[in-house]
Amino acid sequence: MHVVSSRATVVGVVDPALDGEALVREVRQMVGAGADVLEVASPADAASVRAAVDVPVVAPGEIDAEPADDAATVAVAILGGTLAVRTHEARVARRVADVLAILVEASRA
């Protein structure tokens, strides 16, 4: 039997072209939208991100998952057993993960 996690971790993939205020604005929006972790391309950007928000920051490749930027792909990944969803669309991924968590918990009751 395949076990689905009741709540997947949402990894927000930060656009590597952003820097300065645009970077800080983007990461704050991603965290506000539900990202649990942020993936940042450069060590310098990682330092800025850590100073701006209070979530874990990882480098590309630390989370082994294909990006999922639409609701269907996120749902398939979570139902397929992934524990972390990498995405540029944190709000979509968080909503799907939360709905699936409710359904999984309800099915266990």
> Is residue 46 domain-resident?
yes
> Is residue 2 domain-resident?
no
* CB contact at 8 A, 91 and 12: no
> Is residue 18 domain-resident?
yes
Query: What is the reported pLDDT for 6?
Result: 54
> Is residue 3 domain-resident?
no
> Is residue 31 domain-resident?
yes
> Is residue 85 domain-resident?
yes
Q: How many CB atoms lie within 10 A of CB 49?
A: 23
Number of structural domains (the chain) is 1
In the predicted model, residues of the chain with pLDDT beneath 50 are 1-5
pTM of the model: 0.87
Range of the domain at 47: 9-108
Q: Where does residue 81 fall: left (phi above 0), alpha (psi -120 to 50 degrees), or beta otherwise?
A: left
